[in-house]
Amino acid sequence: MFSFAPFDLSYLALFALAVAIYSWQARPPKIAFFYGWLFGFGCFMSGLYWVYTSIYDYGGANQIAAIILTILFAAFWAIFPALSAYIVAKTTTRKHIVNQAFWVALVWIVVEYFRGALLLNGFPWLQVGYSQLNSSLSGYIPIIGGYGIGFILTFSAALIAILVHRRKKDYSIFLLIVFLYSAGFGLKDFRWTDSYGKLLTVTLIQGNISQDQKWLPQNRLKILQDYMDLTRQHWDSDIVVWPETAIPAFYHQVEKHFLNPLERMAKENQTDMIVSMPKVAADSNKDFNIILTLGRHRGEYKKNHLLPFGEYMPLQPVSGWILGLANVNINLDNFMPGGFAQPLLYAGGFPFVSTICYEDAFASEILPYLPEAAYLVNVTNDAWFGNSTQPHHHMQIAQMRAKETGRYLVRATNTGLTGIVDDRGRLIKQAPLFERATVTGVIEPMQGMTPFSKIGESNLIILLIGLYLLLSWRSMKRLIANLLLRLMSTK
């Protein structure tokens, strides 16, 4: 937990992983699984404790049920570090230290990729790579992305753990680790993309509306008026961005009397607005979570990557039954995805990538729109999680996307952290948590592609597997030869 924002003690991740991997060495697979699970449970329980706030403070569950559900949530995700430990213990041989460390790191990252990108629509929270956003390894991010930097971190930790376990003093391994960190440090300030066109002045509005007050019908007019008051002060900006569902009503309820007049004012002041609200799907009883641009270019983006247990219910009917027992009173299953290949929206005269809420946790939601997109926009509402570490973790994830793509990111949130991130992943302006505030700054539209933008996450995993096979070619030849001999002997 302390390796991640807001603490940013990135070196602790190397130490924690080294200790965890050391505990798996020469252990029976079942024991290694248990140690891996303990490590994962400690990590997820300390890093996801804010789930309790959502369930208890805003979900209406009783306190005991909220505690039990939070523990079960952490216990489930702890299975994945345990699975890594089991595979490592099951397949460990007396390989060369580098080969063995490479294998340990490969297993960890493949399992993490399965958790973060595939299972239950993906849950990438607390990936080890995010802890290195500001470390010496961060120079690798535009080249190999979050999973790649996580691989290097785990590889370094495995080298240390295996050396200690074998009680060897191998200075070449020490020099390899120093080289990896030094090279990453040397790449930190390298700029992979170029700015083009005019600079854009952007204002982000943080309304700071309490989650338990936001959707009360009697508060709707006041909330809209508050956002309008904050916006009127910044009609000199090229772009004004409101947070996720800042408009606490459906599109059809506010189009005529609010959105159309707002668009006219935006056009008169030559400002483009980026706002968000739910919208009823025309052909079903489901809803969309949308971003709408108003001004010179009206456009609409429908959220595509939905949040499990937040916008839809996976593992039905079991999950619904469990939440029913806990008396959780949140409508969790009324949204539908907007689909892939939606057209880019325009604001300030440039196209941008739109992400809503935790869509910014998935590089796969952003990379298909490059290199056309000039910058990134994320709107979110982290009010569900109170004054916890969650908003800081979420901003850290958003910063990773900016650095991976070499694009500025503007991020408007309901209660924080609202901010502007530059193309190197640095948070250059932000609003304080839980305050009504605006953030105004200048962003540069960017062009070009980072190496990672060209490779992508899945291809990176394939490349790592291929590299391991090359490193283990001698062992592979022996394995293939033994298999052929066995096949011949059976004939």
Position 300 pLDDT exceeds 90 = yes
**Is 365 among the catalytic positions?**
no
Per annotation, catalytic residue among 112, 311, 357, 403: 357
DSSP letter (8 states) at residue 360: G
| Residue pLDDT, tens place only, 369-388 | 999 999 999 999 988 888 89
Q: Rounded to two decimals, what is the model's pTM?
A: 0.91
Active-site option among 279, 302, 303, 403 = 303
* Tokens linked to 358: 């935790």
- 275, pLDDT greater than 50: yes
- Which is catalytic among the residues 43, 112, 244, 279? 244
Query: What was the pLDDT predicted at 199?
Result: 97
**Domains of the chain in sequence order:** 11-191 (no CATH), 194-304+339-452 (3.60.110.10)
Asked whether residue 315 carries a pLDDT value surpassing 60, the answer given is no
- Report for 275-284, 326-335, 359-368: range of highest mean pLDDT: 359-368
Residue 468: which of 105, 80, 20 has the closest Cα? 105
Residue 153's pLDDT band, with cuts at 50, 70 and 90, is very high
Task: Name the helix (H) or strand (E) containing 51.
Answer: helix 51-53
pLDDT band at 460 (very low <50, low <70, confident <90, very high): very high
* pLDDT at residue 380, rounded to an integer: 95
Query: What is the per-residue DSSP string for 147-199?
Result: HHHHHHHHHHHHHHHHHHHHT---HHHHHHHHHHHHHHHHTTT---SEE-S--
Q: Quick one: 204 exposed, middle or buried, by C-beta within 10 A (0-12, 13-18, 19+)? A: buried
Is 43 a residue of the active site? no
Check: CB of residue 193 under 8 Å from CB of residue 444. Answer: no
Q: Over range 173-189, report the average pLDDT.
A: 93
- Distance, in Å, from the CA atom of 145 to the CA atom of 404, rounded to the nearest integer, reads 6
Q: Which two tokens stand for residue 264?
A: 């006219």
Contact 85, 79 (CB under 8 A): no
Rg, Å, the chain Cα set: 24
pLDDT at res. 383: 87
Give residue 211's pLDDT.
Answer: 84
Kindly give, in sequence order, each residue whose CB lies less than 8 Å from that of residue 207, ignoring residues fewer than 6 positions away: 223, 226, 227, 230, 242, 243, 246, 414, 436
Over the stretch 198-252, which tens digit does the pLDDT of each residue have?
A: 999 999 999 999 888 888 999 999 999 999 999 999 999 999 999 999 999 999 9
What angle separates helix 390-405 from helix 141-166, to the nearest 10 degrees?
Answer: 110
Look up residue 269 and give its amino acid: N
User: DSSP 3-state assignment of 387?
Assistant: coil
321 pLDDT exceeds 50? no
pLDDT at 416: 82
| Mean pLDDT, the chain, integer | 90
